[in-house]
C-alpha cells in the first residue's frame, strides 16, 4: 500500500497544475531544470497555449527542448536562458499560472542553485504578471546550504502580502523527517 494523494510537495504541485491549467493558458516555469514541470505544462496548455521557461543552465534547457521535441510539444514553449529575475524583460502578457521549484537539479551541479534575494525579486515580478485568479506555486527546500534562508525569505514575503489581494496556502508535511520540501500556493484575487 502506498500513499495516493499527498506523496510529497512536488506531487501536490502537479495535482494543482492538472486542476488549474487549461487549454489556452499562458504559463511560466521559472526553474526549468530537467523539464518535468515544463513538459506537463506544455501538455496541459495545448496548441493554443503558451509556456515560458527560464533557467540559467543552457544544458538544462537543451535537454528539456529535446524532450519537448520528442513529444511534439515544442511549438508552444519559449525557453529563455536567463535569470528568472528578468521575467519582465521577456514577457509582455498576463499569465494564468507560475511555478518555481527552488534549489538545485537533483543529481546535477549542487553549486548552481536558486538564491534567496534573486528568488524574491523574481517572485515579486511574477506576481505582477499573474492574472486575477491566477496561481503561483513555490516549492522550497530547506536542507541544503542557503535553502533555509531562502525558505524564510519566501515565507516572510508571503506572510506580508495583503489578504485582500492574495490567498496563500502552505503545504508542509509536518510529521516527516529530514526537511521535506514545503509548497506555497498563492492565488491572486
Ligand atoms: C530544483 S531545479 C528545478 C527542477 C525542475 N523543476 C525539474 O522539473 O526538473 C532548480 C533550477 O533552478 C535553476 N536556477 C537557479 N537560479 C536561477 C535563476 N536565477 N533563474 C532561472 N533559473 C535558475 C537551476 O539552474 C536549476 O535548474
Q: Contact at 8 Å (CB) between 92 and 26? A: no
Q: CB-side exposure of 106: number of CA atoms within 13 Å?
A: 6
Q: What is the pLDDT of residue 186?
A: 98
Helix 147-160 with 116-129: angle, nearest 10 deg: 40
pLDDT tens digits, 26-80: 999 999 999 999 999 999 999 999 999 999 999 999 999 999 999 999 999 999 9
Which residues have any ligand 1 atom within 6 Å of their CB?
Answer: 31, 33-37, 54-57, 60, 83-85, 101, 103-105, 112-114, 118
CB distance 55 to 21 below 8 Å: no
Residue 2 has a pLDDT of 84
* Regions of the chain short of the pLDDT cut 70: none
What CATH homologous superfamily does 9-188 map to? Answer: Vaccinia Virus protein VP39 (3.40.50.150)
Asked whether the beta carbons of 60 and 32 are under 8 A apart, the reply is yes
Q: Which atom of ligand 1 is nearest to the CA of 85?
A: 19
What is the structure's pLDDT at 4? Answer: 85
Counting ligand 1 atoms within 8 A of each CB, the residue from 56, 102, 143 with the most, and so the one to mutate, is 56
Is the CB of residue 129 less than 8 Å from the CB of residue 95? yes
**What is the whole-number distance in angstroms between the Cα of residue 154 and the centre of ligand 1?**
16
Please report where in the chains the cell 510529521 appears, as a residue.
Answer: 175
Rounded CA gap, 138 and 126, in Å?
Answer: 11
Average pLDDT across the chain, whole number? 97
pLDDT for position 93: 98
Among protein residues, the one with the nearest Cα to ligand 1's atom 17 is: 114
Residue 39, Cα to own-chain centre: how many angstroms?
Answer: 12
Residue spans of the domains in the chain: they are 9-188
| 164 Cα to the center of ligand 1, angstroms | 31
Amino acid at each position: 500500500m502506498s500513499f495516493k494523494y499527498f506523496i510529497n510537495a512536488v506531487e501536490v504541485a502537479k495535482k494543482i497544475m492538472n486542476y488549474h491549467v487549461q487549454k489556452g493558458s499562458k504559463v511560466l516555469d521559472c526553474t526549468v531544470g530537467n523539464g518535468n514541470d515544463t513538459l506537463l505544462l506544455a501538455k496541459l496548455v495545448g496548441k493554443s497555449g503558451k509556456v515560458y521557461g527560464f533557467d540559467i543552465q543552457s544544458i538544462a534547457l537543451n535537454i528539456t527542448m529535446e524532450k519537448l521535441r520528442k513529444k511534439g510539444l515544442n511549438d508552444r514553449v519559449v525557453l529563455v536562458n536567463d535569470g528568472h529575475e528578468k521575467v519582465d524583460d521577456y514577457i509582455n502578457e498576463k499569465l494564468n499560472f507560475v511555478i518555481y521549484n527552488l534549489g538545485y537539479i537533483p543529481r546535477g551541479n549542487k553549486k548552481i542553485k536558486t538564491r534567496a534575494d534573486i528568488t524574491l525579486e523574481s517572485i515579486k515580478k511574477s506576481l505582477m504578471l499573474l492574472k486575477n485568479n491566477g496561481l503561483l506555486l513555490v516549492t522550497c527546500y530547506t536542507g541544503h546550504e542557503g535553502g533555509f534562508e531562502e525558505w524564510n525569505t519566501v515565507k516572510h514575503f508571503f506572510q506580508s502580502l495583503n489578504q485582500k489581494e492574495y490567498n496563500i496556502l502552505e503545504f508542509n508535511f509536518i510529521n516527516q523527517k529530514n526537511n521535506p520540501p514545503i509548497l506555497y500556493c498563492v492565488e491572486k484575487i
